[in-house]
């Protein structure tokens, strides 16, 4: 939450901490996307020794093109030096957890989804040829492709166009039927969470949405999570990973199913850890549903803890499927 030095949160933290004699920060993943994520943390501790962000980025990252930066050889050592003094304990050094495996399941697009996907891909190629692609609008297009795959496309003024997502819902049900314990389903869109709650009405489902998304109060949310851990029902939680990625132990569940990928490495990694943590006694499974090469590449980068910037450009050069 403090890796970005340009946020209001970071500025406020600097004001609050500037006069402290010492500062001890605790973080499980200090560089979730790139070595440069460490700069915001070090800025709070010692102002990065006076080094500018541009200088640190140049030392740790290599510019491939307008959109893509890759870590330089030895970047991890530079991050280590920047964040000293520090200690690190791997979970595997402290406890033995049951194995956690990841499955990627390919799902067909419906005709409506395939048509929308083809049109958006054509628009992207055209914008690329005209030199109109920036990091910002690439992220918008990437999220639009995820919306198409999940069956809910946001238009002007947040109007939602629903697309037939029957093949993906069938694949979701198949994955659920293969799990005998409790299940968490993550969806990257509030409208998709609502749709899944309706589609899975034959299951005992709890829904966790943020209060800003029309979700329940904190009291109701906490009751849903408590029931999930302590009672037989609900057996399934449907949630946006933003609402459940941190601070929760949900080891009654043994399966996490991603109905679609999230556009954040940190949220993806932390959300999966809700079931793969101390207290878990069963083997766990992470299931990724994917229908396009874009989703597959996003999942690959999320697992590898890589930035999503430039993912579409890389795919466009290699040819989309």
Q: What is the pLDDT of residues 152-165, one digit of tens each?
A: 988 777 788 899 99
For residue range 31-59, what is the model confidence (pLDDT) as tens digits?
877 899 999 999 998 888 899 999 999 99
Mean pLDDT of 172-180: 95
pLDDT given at position 47:
87
Structure tokens belonging to residue 196: 């899944």
What is the pLDDT confidence band of residue 243, given thresholds at 50, 70 and 90?
confident
Q: Which residues pair with 236 in a beta bridge?
A: 183, 205
The model carries a pTM of 0.77
Residue that the structure tokens 């034959």 belong to: 202
Q: Which residue has the higher pLDDT, 221 or 179?
A: 179
Does the structure show a pLDDT above 80 at 66? no
Does the structure show a pLDDT above 80 at 246? no
> Considering the domain 100-318 in this protein, what is its CATH number?
3.40.50.300
Does the structure show a pLDDT above 60 at 212? no
- As a three-state string, the secondary structure of 233-280 is CCCEEEECHHHCCCCCCCCCEEEEEECCCCCCHHHHHHHHCCCCCCCC
| Closest to 290 in 3D by CA, of 281, 282, 302 | 302
Q: What percent of the chain has pLDDT over 90?
A: 46
Phi-psi region of 139 (alpha: psi -120 to 50; beta: other; left: phi over 0): alpha
Residue that the structure tokens 């419906």 belong to: 110
Does the structure show a pLDDT above 60 at 318? no
Q: What percent of the chain has pLDDT over 70?
A: 90
All structural domains of the chain with their residue ranges? 8-88, 100-318
What is the pLDDT confidence band of residue 97, given thresholds at 50, 70 and 90?
confident
The CA-based angle 318-320-321, given to 5 degrees, is 130
- Answer whether 248's CB lies under 8 Å from 229's CB: no
Within 10 Å of residue 115's Cβ, how many Cβ atoms? 13
The CA-based angle 71-76-80, given to 5 degrees, is 145
Q: Which residues, 6 or more positions from 16, have their beta carbon under 8 angstroms from its beta carbon? A: none
Least confident of 14-23, 59-68, 141-150, 191-200: 59-68
pLDDT given at position 114:
93
For residue range 265-317, what is the model confidence (pLDDT) as tens digits?
888 988 999 999 888 999 999 999 999 888 998 999 888 877 777 677 666 65
Does the structure show a pLDDT above 70 at 183? yes
What is the pLDDT confidence band of residue 216, given thresholds at 50, 70 and 90?
low
For residue range 265-278, what is the model confidence (pLDDT) as tens digits?
888 988 999 999 88
What is the full DSSP assignment across 126-190? Answer: HHHHTT---HHHHHHHHHHHHHHHHTEEE-GGG-EEE---HHHHHHHHHHHHT--SEEEEE-S-H
Within 10 Å of residue 280's Cβ, how many Cβ atoms? 20
pLDDT given at position 25:
85
What are the φ and ψ backbone dihedral angles of 109, each rounded to 5 degrees? -80, 145
pLDDT given at position 315:
61
pLDDT given at position 132:
65
Q: Which residue has the higher pLDDT, 141 or 289?
A: 289
């Amino acid at each position: 939450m403090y890796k970005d030095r340009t946020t209001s949160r970071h500025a406020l933290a600097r004001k609050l901490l500037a006069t402290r004699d010492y500062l001890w920060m605790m973080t499980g993943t200090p560089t979730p996307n790139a070595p440069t994520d460490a700069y915001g943390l070090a800025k709070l501790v010692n102002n990065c020794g006076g080094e500018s962000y541009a200088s640190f980025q140049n030392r740790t990252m290599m510019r491939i093109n307008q959109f893509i930066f890759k870590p330089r050889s030895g970047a991890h050592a530079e991050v280590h030096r920047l964040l000293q003094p520090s200690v690190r304990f791997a979970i595997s050094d402290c406890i033995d957890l049951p194995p956690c495996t990841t499955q990627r399941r390919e799902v067909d697009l419906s005709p409506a989804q395939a048509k929308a996907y083809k049109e958006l891909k054509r628009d992207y190629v055209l914008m690329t040829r005209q030199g109109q692609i920036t990091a910002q609008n690439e992220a918008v297009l990437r999220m639009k492709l995820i919306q198409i795959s999940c069956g809910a496309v946001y238009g002007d003024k947040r109007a939602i166009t629903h697309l037939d997502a029957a093949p993906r819902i069938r694949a979701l049900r198949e994955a659920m039927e293969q799990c005998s314990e409790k299940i968490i389903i993550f969806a990257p869109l509030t409208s998709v969470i609502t749709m899944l709650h309706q589609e899975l009405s034959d299951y005992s489902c709890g829904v966790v949405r943020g209060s800003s998304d029309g979700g329940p109060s904190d009291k109701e949310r906490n009751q849903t999570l408590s029931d999930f851990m302590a009672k037989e029902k609900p057996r399934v939680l449907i949630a946006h990973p933003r609402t459940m990625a941190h601070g929760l132990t949900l080891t009654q569940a043994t399966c996490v199913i991603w109905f679609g990928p999230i556009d954040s490495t940190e949220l993806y990694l932390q959300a999966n850890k809700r079931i793969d943590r101390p207290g878990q006694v069963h083997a766990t499974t992470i299931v990724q549903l994917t229908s396009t090469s874009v989703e597959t590449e996003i999942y690959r980068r999320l697992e590898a803890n890589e930035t999503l910037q430039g993912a579409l450009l890389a795919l466009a050069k290699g040819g989309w499927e």
